[in-house]
């Protein structure tokens, strides 16, 4: 184990022991707020402290067992060799566990998300591809037992969507989808192409974590223009008779959010405000991340919508993620919702990056 990791882990274990003593002190119990804060920190440190204790015990056992290799009895040496092999395998697993504990946790990993898909260059074909991407994410969500709500949709003239915003609800949604933000490019022969030529078009995806009340950025009502209109599309006669749909324009940034899913204008406004808050939060997060990574380019990218992250080549059944130079020849399975072969390598690359950054500190 690297010395830098070891020092960090020793410090965390010492802090865990220190908090245990503080929580046992009568003066801490008398201060409710302090007791609550320390209890939360203690609970957060408990897994890493337990794993560190197990690793330390493992190293002590290895050291003791190695001494038996000098024993005169061959049977004893053979048993020691078997035990050392077992302890070394255990040591590797414990080190990997400890490294995972060291990596900073994304506070939004368990959050629901707002998924936004927009047609880019390519006209009707881009809108159709945007619809294909939404279907791909929908099928992935079904496999993981997440639920979906379409908040706003602008359909393309020949199918698909010019723009669609969906709320995805479930455990760990953001942790699985957060690397999907960016420009997605498609290469295929459109159905309307009579000469069989391959066309290239694009759609952009944005994954925004749904914020809780504490994180919501303060939005000045004076900075908003609120327009109401009649919802379009499915929904029965009701949506055609009332101005239930809401469009919010954030004047300082020019961001526009529409919501027409709910029958209540009040509920649509609340949903639109949540989406707007998520966009403002993400814009600020992206700005800070860009400043922090100015000296070092992230392998998995910035998540900027203008950044091309993936190409879907239908004639060759090939999909390529440009951030980690990953190419797989199972595009049909991916479009049917089998996204894990893409998401898992991105997650592993991100974790490796974090560990490398920790080692440099």
* Residue 86 domain boundaries: 3-102
CA angle in degrees (0–180, nearest 5) for 147-153-158? 115
Interval 15-31: pLDDT, tens: 999 999 999 999 998 99
pLDDT value at residue 214: 72
Last residue of a domain, one of 51, 82, 102: 102
Find, among 179, 155, 150, 175, the residue nearest to 165 by Cα: 150
Distance CA 159, CA 151 (A): 18
How many domains are contained in the chain? 2
CATH number for the domain that contains residue 25: 1.20.58
CATH number for the domain that contains residue 159: 3.30.70.1660
**pTM (whole model) above 0.85:** no
Distance CA 7, CA 102 (A): 11
Instruction: Verify that 272 and 161 share a domain, yes or no.
Output: yes
Distance CA 48, CA 57 (A): 14
Last residue of a domain, one of 71, 102, 133: 102
pLDDT value at residue 255: 92
Looking up tokens 């440099």 gives 360
**If pLDDT is split at 50, 70 and 90, which confidence band does 108 have?**
confident
pLDDT value at residue 322: 95
Interval 116-138: pLDDT, tens: 999 998 889 999 999 999 999 99
Report the percent of the chain where pLDDT is more than 70.
90
Instruction: Verify that 195 and 327 share a domain, yes or no.
Output: yes
pLDDT value at residue 294: 54
pLDDT value at residue 234: 46
Residue 108 lies in a domain: no
Give the largest CA-CA distance in the chain: 94
Interval 276-316: pLDDT, tens: 999 998 888 777 766 655 544 565 766 666 778 999 999 99
Query: Where do the H-state alpha helices sit in the chain?
Result: 3-24, 26-30, 32-67, 74-102, 123-143, 173-177, 237-241, 265-292, 331-335, 340-360
**The two three-digit tokens of residue 235, written as one number:** 């929904």
Terminal Cα distance for the chain, rounded = 15
13, 48 Cβ separation under 8 angstroms:
yes
How remote is the C-alpha of 359 from its chain's centroid?
23
């Amino acid at each position: 184990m690297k010395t830098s990791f070891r020092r960090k882990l020793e410090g965390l274990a010492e802090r865990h022991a220190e908090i245990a003593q503080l929580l046992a002190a009568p003066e801490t119990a008398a201060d409710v707020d302090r007791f609550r804060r320390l209890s939360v920190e203690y609970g957060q440190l408990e897994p890493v402290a337990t794993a560190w204790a197990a690793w330390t015990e493992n190293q002590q056992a290895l050291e003791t067992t190695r001494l038996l290799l000098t024993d005169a009895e061959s049977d004893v040496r053979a048993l020691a060799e078997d035990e050392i092999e077992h302890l070394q395998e255990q040591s590797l697993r414990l080190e990997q566990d400890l490294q995972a504990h060291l990596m900073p946790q994304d506070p939004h990993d368990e959050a629901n998300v707002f998924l936004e898909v927009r047609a880019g260059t390519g006209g009707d074909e881009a809108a159709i591809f945007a619809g294909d991407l939404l279907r791909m994410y929908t099928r992935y969500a079904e496999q993981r037992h997440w639920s979906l709500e379409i908040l706003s949709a602008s359909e393309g003239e020949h199918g698909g969507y010019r723009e669609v915003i969906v709320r995805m609800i479930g455990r760990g949604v953001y942790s699985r989808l957060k690397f999907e933000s960016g420009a997605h490019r498609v290469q295929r022969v459109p159905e309307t192409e009579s000469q069989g030529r391959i066309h290239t078009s694009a759609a952009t995806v944005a994954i925004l974590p749904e914020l809780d009340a504490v994180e919501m950025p303060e939005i000045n009502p004076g900075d908003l223009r609120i327009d109401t209109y009649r919802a379009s599309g499915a929904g029965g006669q009701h949506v055609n008779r009332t101005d239930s749909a809401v469009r919010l324009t954030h004047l300082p940034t020019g961001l526009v959010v529409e919501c027409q899913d709910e029958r209540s204008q009040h509920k649509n406004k609340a949903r639109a405000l949540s989406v707007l808050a998520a966009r403002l939060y993400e814009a600020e997060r992206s700005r800070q991340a860009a400043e922090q990574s100015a000296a070092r380019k992230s392998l998995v990218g910035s998540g900027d919508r203008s950044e091309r992250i993936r190409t879907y080549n239908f004639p060759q059944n090939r999909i390529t993620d440009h951030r980690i130079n990953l190419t797989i020849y199972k595009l049909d399975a991916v479009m049917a919702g089998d996204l894990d072969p893409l998401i898992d390598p991105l997650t592993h690359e991100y974790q490796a990056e974090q560990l490398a950054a920790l080692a440099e500190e």
